[in-house]
Each structure stands twice: as structure tokens, then as C-alpha cells.
Amino acid sequence: MTGLRWGILATGGIAGAFASDLRTAGLDLQAVGSRSQEAADAFAARFDIPRAHPSYEALVADPEIDIVYVSTPHPMHHANARLALEAGKHVLVEKAFTLTRAEAEDLRLLGAEHGLLVMEAMWTRYLPHMVRLREIIAAGTLGEIRAVSADHTQLLPSDPAHRLNALELGGGALLDLGIYPISFVWDILGAPTAIHAVGRLVDTGADAEVATVMTHASGAVSTTLSSSRAVGPDVASVIGTAARIEIDRVWYTPTSLRVILPDGTVIEEFSSGEVAGRGMQYQAFAAERFVADGTLDSDLLPVAESVAIMGALDEIRTQIGVHYPNEEQSNA
């Protein structure tokens, strides 16, 4: 099968960005589902979508869609993706993949049981500069990689009722922002063998800042920083014995990188160039390829890796003292 017919579940800001990128890329966006007909109609009119459904159940039952993009807040990802999988639809699930590792593993098993693609929408991994970064590393240009660092910091609303600060909505910098640098270091160095995390919590109990130091099987170390209350450089680096890569601001979006020798000589500069929209279409193209070739799993972020990353986020939250009120139910 090629040219999957897409449905979008929920109509928030990230859903709009994804819909725009699908349209720009010429992909087949067929339907949207919301919790009200009015919201679904407005979203459909905005992006010229043929069918608008007044419920998520109606969306996944639509016989004219093959794959569902789940764009609800983190605590709803598991139930919404499960709904789509049980209806026989492939799923692309917005990051963070789920609320907990247990939920992520359940989706992995359900996808395997039904022979469907279950994929985390970590769109950064599919961007042109990230593809080039992995090529440079694979060529041995950096020598032995000794350290990786990345930050994701933004000045976001401090209102206690805002989604980012509400624990019942999976609020906190870690799942919204920290997932990017943690997934990045995992991509380069693999699973950590030890995790050390510190954080600062706000009055709601959500994390506003989180920093990690992790060691990896090769002996390399990684550091990450995320904050929802301040803006930092938002850059990343991969440091090897023969050279290093510096990724410019904002490293997790289409941007540029440089390969630099120990003496400061720049031996390569690479730019993602003119990327239409936000760049979320690359992950959509990849999802369609995984279905078409029958692999039903991402080569850049296998679902088992998404499960393991959620396990690392569970451990980080334990260390910094963040606990979601609906966590027991998700782990049941």
C-alpha cells in the first residue's frame, strides 16, 4: 500500500501544524475527529479536509482512512491510540509517546497483535540535518564519541491551570520539552546504563526545570537540560576524539550543523535548506514507507525504543519527585 489516507485525532495547535505540513507535502489528508462537530468542522474548513467527525470513535471508524495521527495531551495518547488500533488503523502518536512505560508497552503489543504500525511522532529524527548527522557519525569522522549534550528551553505560560503545569494533564517540562534532548542522546549513544536527574518543581508539583547526566554502554556521557520558564541557547553537540558536531539553534527543528576538528577547523557545514512548513512531513513520509514495505516499524525510532525511552522518563520523574495522579491507572 502506498499513499496512506490520513485522519487527525484532535484539533489543537500541534494538529494544525501537522495538517499544514501534510497539505504542503501533498499527502492525502481525508478526515479529522474532535469532541464536537463544531470544532471538527472548523478544523476541516481550515485545512480543506473532506470529512469532519464529532467524536474520536467516529473518526477511527471511518473506512476512508488508513492511519491516525494522535495529537491529544500525553495522558490521552494511550487510550486514543488504542481506540485507533482496535479499529484496524495504523497510528502515529505525538511525543511524548505515552504517559508511562507501561502504556507504551501496551501499545507496542497491541500493534504487533493486529499487524499495524505504531510509531512515535518524534519528527526531529527525520529532518535532513539529523539524517546527515548520522551519516557523519557512521563514516567515523568524529572518531570515538565521548559526550553528547542538548537543551530544550522555552518561556511558557506559568498559569497553574495551563496544560504544561497541570499534573493531571501530564504537565511538566520533561514530557513536553525534555523528551527531545533525551531522545536525541538515545539516538546517538543508545540506552543509558545509569541515569542521574535533578529538577525544580513548581507549586502544582510539575517540573519546571530538569537536568540529566547519563552514562552509556560505550562509556560516553550525555547531559540534557529542559526548562519551561526560561529561554536558553537550544543547541546540541556530539563530541568525538577526532572531531565534534555542533548543531545550531534551534537544533530540534530544520537547521544547520558544523563538523569541527580539535584545532577549530570547520571541515563541513550542512544546512537543512528551505524546508516547507515545520518539517513534520518527513515523519509522515517515513510512516507511509514503513507500511508500504511491510516492516511496520520505524528504522530510526523503533517502537521498542520509544517504550524504553518512556521507561527512562519514568525513572527521571521518580528521581525528581514528579507523580501523575492518573499514573496508577495507566500502570494497571
Q: Does residue 105 share a domain with residue 88? A: yes
Residue whose cell numbers read 485522519: 7
Chain segment 59-72, per-residue pLDDT in tens = 999 999 999 999 99
Q: Is residue 99 within 8 Å of 326, Cβ to Cβ? A: yes
Q: What is the CATH number of the domain that holds 19?
A: 3.40.50.720
Q: Tell me, yes or no, whether 109 lies in a domain.
A: yes
Q: Tell me, yes or no, whether 303 lies in a domain.
A: no
Q: Does residue 220 share a domain with residue 258? A: yes
Q: Is residue 171 within 8 Å of 163, Cβ to Cβ? A: yes
d(CA 214, CA 220): 9
Q: Does residue 189 share a domain with residue 137? A: yes
Q: Tell me, yes or no, whether 193 lies in a domain.
A: yes
Coil vs helix vs strand at 210: strand
Q: Does residue 245 share a domain with residue 135? A: yes
Q: Does residue 262 share a domain with residue 137? A: yes
Q: What pLDDT shows up at residue 146? A: 98
Chain segment 8-36, per-residue pLDDT in tens = 999 999 999 999 999 999 999 999 999 99
Nearest CA among 267, 240, 73 for reference residue 145: 240
The single-letter DSSP state of residue 33 is E
HSE, CB side, 13 Å, CA atoms: give it for residue 240.
Answer: 21
Coil vs helix vs strand at 22: helix
Q: Tell me, yes or no, whether 298 lies in a domain.
A: no
Q: What pLDDT shows up at residue 135? A: 98
For residue 86, what are the domain limits?
5-121
d(CA 79, CA 59): 14
Q: Tell me, yes or no, whether 175 lies in a domain.
A: yes
Q: What is the CATH number of the domain that holds 155?
A: 3.30.360.10
Chain segment 160-211, per-residue pLDDT in tens = 999 899 999 999 999 999 999 999 999 999 999 999 999 999 999 999 999 9
Question: Is residue 303 scored above 50 in pLDDT?
Answer: yes
Q: Does residue 155 share a domain with residue 42? A: no
Chain segment 231-284, per-residue pLDDT in tens = 999 999 999 999 999 999 999 999 999 999 999 999 999 999 889 899 999 999
| Residue where a domain stops, chosen among 100, 121, 142 | 121
Can you read off the three cell numbers belonging to residue 242? 577526532
Q: Tell me, yes or no, whether 238 lies in a domain.
A: yes
Q: Does residue 248 share a domain with residue 139? A: yes
| Residue where a domain stops, chosen among 92, 121, 150 | 121
Q: Is residue 110 within 8 Å of 311, Cβ to Cβ? A: no
Q: Does residue 20 share a domain with residue 38? A: yes
The better pLDDT of the pair 136, 329 is held by: 136
Q: Does residue 263 share a domain with residue 146? A: yes
Coil vs helix vs strand at 110: helix
Can you read off the three cell numbers belonging to residue 200? 525544580
| pTM across the whole model | 0.96
Please, what is the angle between helix 101-114 and helix 74-86, to 10°?
Answer: 10
Q: Peptide bond before 96: cis, by omega within 30 degrees of 0?
A: yes
Q: Tell me, yes or no, whether 284 lies in a domain.
A: no
Q: What pLDDT shows up at residue 276? A: 87
pLDDT-derived band at 327 (thresholds 50, 70, 90) equals confident
- How many CB atoms lie under 10 A from the CB of residue 38? 11
Name the average pLDDT for the chain: 96
Q: How many domains does the chain have?
A: 2
- How many CB atoms lie under 10 A from the CB of residue 110? 17
| Residue where a domain stops, chosen among 104, 121, 138 | 121
Q: Peptide bond before 238: cis, by omega within 30 degrees of 0?
A: no
Question: Is residue 330 scored above 60 in pLDDT?
Answer: no
Q: Tell me, yes or no, whether 230 lies in a domain.
A: yes
Q: What pLDDT shows up at residue 1? A: 40
Can you read off the three cell numbers belonging to residue 143? 572518531
Q: Percent of the chain having pLDDT more than 70?
A: 98
Question: Is residue 331 scored above 60 in pLDDT?
Answer: no
Average pLDDT over residues 34-60: 98
Q: Does residue 177 share a domain with residue 47? A: no
